[in-house]
Amino acid sequence: MPELDDLLERLHVVALPMRVRFRGITVREVALIDGPAGWGEFGAFPEYEAPEAAAWLAAGIEAAYRPAPVVHRDRVPINATVPAVPAAQVPEVLARFPGARTAKVKVAEPGQTLADDVARVDAVRAQVPVVRVDANGGWTLPQAVAAAAALTADGPLEYLEQPCATVEELAALRRRVDVPIAADESIRKASDPLRVVRARAADVAVLKVAPLGGVSRMLDIAAQIDIPIVVSSALDSAVGIARGLLAAAALPELVHACGLGTGGFFVEDVAEVPAPVDGYLPVGTVVPDPARLSGLAATPQRRQWWIERLRECYPLTFE
């Protein structure tokens, strides 16, 4: 565990402008740590309280101060990610993911209808052979049953990601629909991330490095899960994406495409992001460009906000 003062001396806070609104934001702020083992990222979303955000800091510290695990592959298949945009905007979004054979489509957006979701999914299905959807827990059980039927009327879905908020609802839905169920928030936001598996409430586990406390912690959880794993990003910068790719590369088996292509949502990132080749991204380290770190630096007020947040999370990081 590094000293707090050492962490603060190595801290860079950046604000990354986004091409489209995603998770309700158009600028993504993250704090980066220039450590002796590499660069780490602390990017817990602002609304997260310190106990939850501390896991994200642990992930950043791990990347900055600890050696990387052994990997089993040098590239990782990724899915295209389609935000809750109008169907007419889908081709523009998919153009940022050349060669992707799988697409994840956001659904259940507040203020939108199931008809909007169906139109968006059908527009994606017209261009990409494998489609999965992510509701972020936005449906009740009856709504999820209806959505599963509507969204598969014109073609199959690879899976429904976090269609409902609770493990009990996921388990009930899994018994009522033929579409596979994937769990995300029920794993990364749970005090017991393995409960959803023991409850037989999911067919696929979506794991994110930062919310789970780092690559090592994610791999420990993955080793206890007997269903396929999908590694996904948490709207990370190039630094965080590199850690997700590393985690996916370290898994003994990788059946599904991973949600690690979200770098295309940024107008500019802290490092040059390689474009996917045939739907794959390479595994490797990322070193931010000093000019980009300077040009994308957050305001002094926002930097101080992140410093105070790091101070608050630091004592909780490895409890």
189 is catalytic: no
- Six token digits for residue 167: 């493990």
CA dihedral angle for residue 313, residue 137, residue 23, residue 192, rounded to 10 degrees:
20
Give the pLDDT mean for 98-104: 93
Write the pLDDT tens digit of every residue in 155-203.
Answer: 999 999 999 999 999 999 999 999 999 999 888 877 788 899 889 999 9
In whole angstroms, give the CA distance from residue 147 to residue 118.
9
DSSP strand pairing (280-282 vs 102-106): unpaired
Q: Which helix (H) or strand (E) holds 133?
A: strand 130-134
Give the mean model confidence (pLDDT) for residues 55-72.
Answer: 97
- Number of Cβ within 10 Å of residue 137's Cβ equals 20
Q: Is 134 annotated as a binding residue?
A: yes
Same domain, residue pair 162 and 256: yes
Co-location of 35 and 156 in the same domain: no
- The answer to whether the CB of 49 falls within 8 A of the CB of 259 is no
Give the CATH number for residue 62: 3.30.390.10
| DSSP state string for 259-297 | B--GGGGBSS-SSPPPPPBTTEEE-------HHHHHHTB
How many folded domains does the chain comprise?
A: 2
Same-domain pairing of 182 and 45:
no
126-137 residue pLDDT tens = 999 999 999 999
Q: Phi and psi (nearest 5°) for 183?
A: -110, 135
For residue 45, the enclosing domain spans 4-68+290-316
Does residue 264 register a pLDDT over 90? no
106 is catalytic: yes
The single residue of 188, 208, 217, 256 carrying the catalytic annotation is 208
On whether both 249 and 126 belong to a single domain, the answer is: yes
Same domain (yes/no): 273, 130: yes
* 45 pLDDT above the threshold of 90: yes
pTM assigned to the model: 0.93
> Is 269 within any annotated ligand binding site?
no
Whether 60 and 100 share a structural domain: no
Residue 254 and residue 307 share a domain: no
Q: Is 162 left (phi over 0), alpha (psi -120 to 50) or beta?
A: left
CATH number of domain containing 109: 3.20.20.120
Q: Which residues lie below 8 Å from residue 251, measured CB to CB, with a gap of 6+? A: 72, 219, 222, 229, 231
Q: Which amino acid is at 288?
A: P
Q: What is the pLDDT of residue 126?
A: 96
The one catalytic residue among 106, 174, 188, 303: 106
Predicted confidence band of residue 262 (pLDDT cuts 50, 70, 90): confident
Are 129 and 85 contained in the same domain?
Answer: yes
Residues 239 and 304 both lie in one domain:
no
Question: What is the pLDDT averaged over residues 198-218?
Answer: 95
Per residue in 18-34, pLDDT (tens digit) is 987 877 789 999 999 99
User: Does residue 79 share a domain with residue 51?
Assistant: no
Please indicate, yes or no, whether residues 24 and 112 belong to a single structural domain of this protein: no
Q: Is 312 annotated as a binding residue?
A: no
The sign one gets for the Cα dihedral 269, 273, 275, 278 is negative
Same-domain pairing of 299 and 272: no
Q: For residue 205, what pLDDT is reported?
A: 95
